[in-house]
Structure 1
Amino acid sequence: MFGRVPTTRRYLMCAPHYFAVNYAINPWMDPSRPVDRELALAQWSELRDTYRRLGHTVDEIEPQPGLPDMVFAANSGTVVDGRVLGARFRAAERAAEAEHFRRWFLERGYRDITMPTKINEAEGDFAWTGRLLLAGAGFRTDPAAHAEAQEALGVPVVSLTLTDPRYYHLDTALFVLAEATDAAPAQVAYYPDAFSAGSRRVLARLFPDAVLADADDAAVLGLNGVSDGRNVVLPAEATGLADRLARIGYEPVLVGISELRKSGGGPKCCTMELRK
């Protein structure tokens, strides 16, 4: 009925060999809670293997000691049409990650690389819809970084304001289900209560057929999903959102991310898309 069509993707990921919760830079992080690194690695490996099973390509960057959040590759770059906009982290604990990713791109032949002057946490706060870039601000990325992204990537940018500290990045409150094509507009899923009133009006105008998530979906980072246009990779606990997506023709794929969620991350946080 819906004719959902998957498209093959290329992703960049970083294994959580040094994953830990040694500091708190978002409400999910509690250094007093134990972290099972072996389980984190097993869950990350399941996520990587799921992408490959779905026909996607996964590249890997070497993790670095002393950077426990480097596993969250989405925060270190935004790639559209082969142009790369790097990251500039707000938290000092993560600042060094940006250079490792810049070098990875440079060593693999990317030449159109821009490193931002404003705080910019990459796909954590930038979501490409196929026509425009949705850009979040409120907790991490500087609003001025939105104009910088438009200039560097050469795509129109729409700014959105996040208001709930639990959903500190755009990718914890919204993800793209299907990118826009000549035949159909983009479709997104989002949690309305994570956004300002004005941003909710913007989203309603841009995406009248959006899938609206509820508080239960959001509380398990269900909006930190990854879709190829048909297959939608979600945290295992996001069963309500999975049911709603299945009813409109998507194929939910549930994966365990319990350990990574202790740092406020899920499938999308671990996944940077390389768009050429």
Structure 2
Amino acid sequence: MTEARVSTRRRYLLCEPKYFTVEYAINPWMDPSQPVSTELAVKEWTELADTYRRWGHRVEFIEPQPGLPDMVFAANSGTVIGGRVLGARFRAPQRAPEADHYRRWFLDHGYRDVFMPTRTNEAEGDFTWTGAVLLAGTGFRTDPGAHSEAQEFLGVPVVSLSLVDPRYYHLDTALCVLTEANATRNAHIAYYPEAFSVGSQRVLRRLFPDAIIATEADAECLGLNAVSDGRNVVLPMEATHLADQLLHHGYDPTFLDISELRKSGGGPKCCTMELRG
């Protein structure tokens, strides 16, 4: 019998891609020589925000800043668990100023436990909360030393995972949490094994034996850069095999066009920071 999936109300922070463009290349998806439509990126982002609101979630916004075309990717600028905020420290100098804008947003909105890391840490790009442990990616962006900083400040157990394919430079491009763990169940995830080292694949199989295994085609369209509320899942429209698997496991997938945002290596999750607690 397919397990009944239950949506839980979420709170998300988003940033309009008002200044979105691709003017530098810091991942394999970015090509400054290709045309980019800011108008289309805003349309894609607006549909994402509207989708969250249709599902009953609370959506908050941070003001975009000129000269920061990747600020739309809010997930990279903070990890929030239990009301504690672990900020970001970007590897690429082009994105470094984003961290302080998000830090000030948190302080202006009543957050007091805000810690800015000393090690390179690209937040929910490489930190994925399962409800029980924090999965932490490394290999291209976030330093391994940032994993211990996260454990110390957030007070949650951290499991390190090594990424080995530069196309999947952040953990959230290769893995997503579909249902969080609670007192009676393990977390349910989807992931693309080939994005991870052999040892990390063994870890994932041990921790999540019932995970949905994504195909190469799912991964190549950033299908795993999805957002789930426990039942509803928003994902790129090309991720059809993954959507079929989600339906089989009791989820309700919603397709979005992210073709313009993907030119910078981003999708639904990259645009979405979850504000927990």
TM-score using structure 2 length: 0.99
SS in 1 for 2:166: coil
SS in 2 for 1:262: helix
Corresponding residue of 2:23: 22
Corresponding residue of 2:274: 273
Corresponding residue of 1:167: 168
Q: Describe how 1:76-155 pairs up with structure 2 within 5 A.
A: 76-155=77-156
**Following TM superposition, by how much is the alpha carbon of 1:181 offset from its aligned partner in structure 2, in angstroms?**
1.1
**Following TM superposition, by how much is the alpha carbon of 1:182 offset from its aligned partner in structure 2, in angstroms?**
1.3
Corresponding residue of 1:215: 216
Aligned amino acid, residue 166 of structure 1:
R
- Stretches of structure 2 that go unaligned for 5 or more consecutive residues are none
SS in 2 for 1:135: strand
SS in 1 for 2:201: helix
Deviations, residues 197-248 of structure 1 (Å, cap 9, x unaligned): 0000000000000000010000000010000000011011111100111011
SS in 2 for 1:258: coil
**Following TM superposition, by how much is the alpha carbon of 1:183 offset from its aligned partner in structure 2, in angstroms?**
1.8
**Following TM superposition, by how much is the alpha carbon of 1:7 offset from its aligned partner in structure 2, in angstroms?**
0.3
**Following TM superposition, by how much is the alpha carbon of 1:102 offset from its aligned partner in structure 2, in angstroms?**
0.2
Deviations, residues 143-181 of structure 1 (Å, cap 9, x unaligned): 000000001100000000000000000000001000001
SS in 1 for 2:167: coil
Deviations, residues 102-128 of structure 1 (Å, cap 9, x unaligned): 000000110000000000000000000
2:265 is the counterpart of 1:264: yes
Aligned amino acid, residue 57 of structure 1:
R
Corresponding residue of 2:46: 45
2:200 is the counterpart of 1:192: no
Aligned amino acid, residue 270 of structure 1:
C
Matched-pair identity in %: 72
d(CA) in 2 for partners of 1:34, 1:240: 29
Corresponding residue of 2:13: 12
Aligned amino acid, residue 144 of structure 2:
P
d(CA) in 2 for partners of 1:150, 1:267: 26
Q: Describe how 1:248-259 pairs up with structure 2 within 5 A.
A: 248-259=249-260
d(CA) in 2 for partners of 1:132, 1:185: 10
d(CA) in 1 for partners of 2:244, 2:186: 22
**Following TM superposition, by how much is the alpha carbon of 1:48 offset from its aligned partner in structure 2, in angstroms?**
0.4
**Following TM superposition, by how much is the alpha carbon of 1:2 offset from its aligned partner in structure 2, in angstroms?**
1.1
Number of residue pairs matched by the alignment: 276
Corresponding residue of 1:68: 69
- Stretches of structure 1 that go unaligned for 5 or more consecutive residues are none
SS in 2 for 1:93: coil
d(CA) in 2 for partners of 1:37, 1:113: 32
d(CA) in 1 for partners of 2:204, 2:49: 31
d(CA) in 2 for partners of 1:152, 1:121: 15
